[in-house]
Amino acid sequence: MNEPIYETVVTTVNAAGTVHVAPMGVRYRGEHVVLMPFKPSTTLDNIVATRHAVLNLITDTRVFAGCVTGRKQWPTRPAERIAGVRLDNALGHVELALHEHADEAQRPVLTMARVHEATHAPFIGMNRAQAAVVEGAVLVSRLHMLSADKIDGEMAYLQIAIDKTASAAEHEAWGWLREAVAAHRARLPPSR
C-alpha cells in the first residue's frame, strides 16, 4: 500500500525573492511534510537556496489548472515566520523549513519541518467538479504521452461533474484545460 498523497500548492522564493508557485502532491510523515519534486525543479532549487517553502492547502482549482496551462502568477501575501509567501486563496498554509535533503537522480526527497501554520477559511465540503479539474490538470500535464481517444474519453467523463457541480472557478479552470487539449490537438500532424 502506497502512502497517501495530498494535492497542494508549494510556494517558494529564490535568493532574489522571485516567487514560484507549483502544484505538488505531498506526503505527511509524522510531523513532517515530504516533497519529492521531479528534477529539474525550480521548487527544489529554491528550497536548496533558501531552506524554506510554504505549503498551501487550497480548493480553488484554478491554480492547479492554471499552472499546467501557463498561468503561473497567483496573488500571494508574505509568510509570517519565514522569508516566503503564501497564496491569497489558501484555506490554510504551513510554513516549512528544510529538515533533510536526500538527493536522488530523478526525485530527491525533501523532508520539511513545520515552522508555523494557520487556517484562513473553512473547508465547505468536497466538490466533484474540483476533483474533475485536478484530474483534468493531471491529464493535460501528460498530453504528449496519451492517445487522442484516451484524452477525449477522460475529458468527456470529467465533464459530467463539471456540468453538475462546478462553481464559476471550476468552469474557468475547466475552460483552460479544454483550450490546452484543443491547442495540443491543433499542433499534431493531421494524419494522427
Q: Which stretch binds its own copies (CB under 8 A): 78-86, 99-107, 155-163, 183-191?
A: 155-163
Under 8 Å between Cβ of 101 and 134: no
Q: Please report, in angstroms and rounded to a whole number, the separation of the first and last CA atoms in the chain.
A: 38
Which position has the grid cell 475547466? 174
User: Is 145 among the residues that bind its own copies (CB under 8 A)?
Assistant: no
Q: Which stretch binds its own copies (CB under 8 A): 37-45, 107-115, 163-171, 180-188?
A: 163-171
Q: Among 142, 144, 157, which Cα is nearest to 192's?
A: 144
Kindly state whether residue 135 participates in binding its own copies, applying the rule CB under 8 A: yes
Pairing of strands 85-87, 6-13: unpaired
161 binds its own copies (CB under 8 A): yes
User: Cβ(135)–Cβ(60) under 8 Å?
Assistant: no
| Contact status, residue 87 vs residue 118, Cβ threshold 8 Å | no
- 49 sits near its own copies (criterion: CB under 8 A): no
Q: Which of residues 88-117 bind its own copies (CB under 8 A)?
A: 91-92, 117
Contact between 128 and its own copies by CB under 8 A: the answer reads yes
Binding-site string for its own copies from residue 10 to residue 39, where x marks contact by CB under 8 A and - marks none: ---------------xx-x-----------
Question: Measuring CA to CA, which residue among 12, 13, 58, 55 is closest to residue 31?
Answer: 55
Q: Is 175 in the site for its own copies (CB under 8 A)?
A: no
Angle subtended at Cα 80 by Cα 88 and Cα 127, rounded to the nearest 5 degrees: 35
Is 164 a binding residue for its own copies by CB under 8 A? The answer is yes
Closest CA to 65 of 136, 12, 126: 136
- For its own copies, the closer of residues 49 and 157 by Cβ is 157
Rounded Cα–Cα distance for residues 87 and 15 (Å): 19
6 contacts its own copies (rule: CB under 8 A): yes
Could you say which of 14, 119, 142, 148 contacts its own copies (CB under 8 A)? Answer: 119
- Coil, helix or strand at residue 1: coil
Shortest reach from residue 167's CB to its own copies, in Å: 4
Task: Summarize as ranges the residues that interact with its own copies (CB under 8 A).
Answer: 1-2, 4-8, 25-26, 28, 57, 59, 61, 91-92, 117, 119, 122-131, 134-135, 138, 154, 157, 161, 163-168, 170-171
